[in-house]
Amino acid sequence: MDSRYKNMRKKTIKERLQEGSFNTVRVIGMGFLFVILIGAVLLWMPFSVTTPMKFTDALFTSVTAVCVTGLVTVTPAVQFTVVGKVILLFLIQIGGLGIIACVVAFMILAGQRISLRRRVMIQESYGLDTLSGMVQYIIRIIKGTFFVEGIGALAYSFYFVPKYGVLKGIAYAIFHAISAFCNAGIDILGSSSYMHMVTSPIINFTTIFLVVSGGLGFVVWYDILNNIKQVRNIKDVRRNFFHRLSLQSKIVLTMTAWLLLFGMFAFLLLEYHNPVTMGKLTFWQKVQASLFQSISTRTAGFATVSQSGLTAASKAIGCMLMMIGGSSGGTAGGVKTTTVALLLLTCLSVVRGSRDIECYGRKIPLSQVKSAVTILFLTIMFWMSGTIIITILDPQVNFLRIVYETTSAIATVGLSADLTPSLSRASQYVLMVIMYIGRIGPVTMAMIFAGKGKNAEQYRELPEKQIMIG
């Protein structure tokens, strides 16, 4: 073959690899938007609703389902028929797995070959180091998701079946297991949500298991399972299990544990005597409710206590936990635990005067610090913009309630201070945009607007010049 054609082919492959990141951004952004619009139309149809509703409500419900948030303008248990609830469940599952995983899954079922470009998209989407084993990785994610959701549904059925009967109880168990694992926070129990089940150990601990499982991230679970296979005895678990984990897994597990404990003790202290939330519960029920609130606030959005009845301090702590969110590569939102950990380590290195940013005996690249700062800055920028716009559109609403709602939206948590349904239509559209940005990521949104960057100047070296800061 002529060498010109060989060079041309090599150049094409190289260009595809270089353009992979931007292509992934477009696929994710447009993919979520397409599913949202299809979902809105289906939920708006007569066969999906018990009584006619406005298209804005159907669109809002589709956005909150696909973006796995949980804020609602209607009560799903009352508004939607069985068909509507099934559609809602599919939207939640698609939103939880992600567009890339769903597209690849459909291609595998259709017997299509996964192209190089698709493999690059998978790599970019999940932050993997290699292009090999991509298809098997997606298959493991899907199998693992269904397996954990199945365990959750089985556990839930011990509560729902005795209460609602076999068929309805199993249906409720499946719906809430998927919603919990995907960190969607959407329920079909009515306006009281989980609040009438605040004392139920089955509901509380099953939900905690599912929410944490989804929030840790697929990469972390994959790493944990791989290391479990290498464990030989109990002593090996104690000495070497944590040491064998990747740096990503170590940071995620450490941050998750500390945030869980901090949130639990903070809510227990602040709500202990609050009659609207936990004041009337026994001590151990308060501990259980505080643990549930701590975990749900960061990721899921289910509520066993009244969010509007929380003290101002609890709402402020809740906003902080929501903004941190879950972990990268999972179903949760927020700026992610790894981002916050990296920023904390950066601050610590500056205070100590260290040259490098270190964690568990490893050096963190400066490029990741830049990424962490960018994620935090863009998230705060989009969040503040949405908060200010809603404050202008609905000036009569208490500012802290607006902040709680917009934080819940940008972090795709779904906890609500009973405000979303009463907001103006314009403010509800603002919340939709915030939820969408929170799901696809603020950096992804910025890249879509910025377009594909030019790499011509990336190797240009400029003279350094310091400026005054702080």
DSSP assigned state of 453: P
Distance CA 78, CA 179 (A): 17
Distance CA 144, CA 137 (A): 10
- Helix H or strand E encompassing 57: helix 55-66
Please report the pLDDT score of residue 457 as a whole number: 52
Residue 470, pLDDT > 80, answer no
Residue 13, pLDDT > 50, answer no
448: Cβ contacts below 8 Å, ≥ 6 apart: 25, 26, 29
CB-CB neighbours of 74 under 10 Å: 18
Please report the pLDDT score of residue 224 as a whole number: 85
Residue 339, pLDDT > 80, answer yes
Residue 14, pLDDT > 50, answer no
Model confidence pLDDT, tens digit, residues 298-334: 888 899 999 989 999 999 999 999 999 988 877 788 8
| Average of per-residue pLDDT values in the chain | 86
Residue 130, pLDDT > 80, answer no
Phi, psi of 194 (to 5 degrees): -90, 5
Helix (H, G, I), strand (E, B) or coil at 95: helix
201: Cβ contacts below 8 Å, ≥ 6 apart: 288
Distance CA 382, CA 139 (A): 34
The model carries a pTM of 0.87
Model confidence pLDDT, tens digit, residues 39-69: 999 999 999 999 999 999 999 999 999 999 9
Stretch 115-122: mean pLDDT: 70
Model confidence pLDDT, tens digit, residues 261-301: 999 999 999 999 999 999 999 999 999 999 999 999 988 88
- Please compute, for residue 344, the number of CA atoms within 13 A of its CA located in the half-sphere on the CB side: 10
State the DSSP string of 262-315: HHHHHHHHHHTT-TTTTTTS-HHHHHHHHHHHHHIIIII---SS-STTS-HHHH
Please report the pLDDT score of residue 3 as a whole number: 46
